[in-house]
Amino acid sequence: MARPKSEERRQAIIDSAIRLIAREGLGAATAAIAKEAGVPNGSVFTYFPTKIELFNALYMEIKEELISTVDDGLSDAGDEREQLLHIWVRWTRWGAANSEKRRVLAQLSVSDDVLEATKKAGFTAAHRSVNLIRQVARHGALRDQDLAFVGAVVESLASTTMDFMSRDSKHAEQVCMATFEFLWKALR
């Protein structure tokens, strides 16, 4: 009789995969992931029948954590600037504090192994942030651009901000606020 799946074991595999992929890239071996997780090699495939399924699960898990962090406390009350500031501060703080997850998400976001349906589900889950960015940008310099382009510009700025926040924690808040002002002026 097969042993029931354990959420602890699954989470150990996820956490190990994040650490190894952040260090070694998407080529990290499942055997190494299992070893790092302290589980038998075959256990990875008990929870994720293929490496592609592991990648898709990782993508959604990290995306959902990020979205939950960003959306937590976000109120529909308040003006667009306050709402965008909330998103920006929570997003960049999360990224600065979770550099491994951010690196893994960046790799998975451009991987052909992450299904388009998975990427679309991640995008759909971020609807509050995406809609707010679309709304803020509707009158600015990027108003006639495709939303995917606007999103890529915002993500690039966020990534740069997170990098600098991580490198210089003493000035992290200053960097966060300065780039928010830049973002606000660029979108409006």
Q: Where are the domains of the chain?
A: 1-49, 59-187
Q: pLDDT-based confidence at 76, cuts 50/70/90?
A: confident
Report the chain's C-alpha Rg in angstroms: 18
* CB neighbour class for 127 (10 Å; exposed up to 12, middle 13-18, buried from 19): exposed
Q: How many CB atoms lie within 10 A of CB 113?
A: 16
Indicate if the pLDDT at residue 145 is higher than 80: yes
Q: pLDDT-based confidence at 3, cuts 50/70/90?
A: low
Full-model pTM = 0.92
- For residue 3, the one-letter residue type is R
DSSP state letters, 15-65: HHHHHHHHHH-TT--HHHHHHHHTS-HHHHHHH-SSHHHHHHHHHHHHHHH
CATH class of 59-187: mainly alpha
Yes or no: say if 19 and 80 are a contact pair by the CB < 8 Å rule.
no
Farthest-apart Cα atoms in the chain, separation: 62
What mean pLDDT do residues 6-22 have? 97
pLDDT tens readout for residues 80-102: 999 999 999 999 999 999 999 99
pLDDT tens readout for residues 150-168: 999 999 999 999 999 999 9
Indicate if the pLDDT at residue 13 is higher than 60: yes
Pick the CATH number of 1-49 from 2.40.50.140, 2.70.98.40, 1.10.10.60, 1.10.10.10: 1.10.10.60
Q: Is the torsion defined by CA of 80, 83, 89, 95 positive or negative? A: negative
pLDDT tens readout for residues 102-141: 999 999 999 999 999 999 999 999 999 999 999 999 989 9
* CB neighbour class for 97 (10 Å; exposed up to 12, middle 13-18, buried from 19): middle
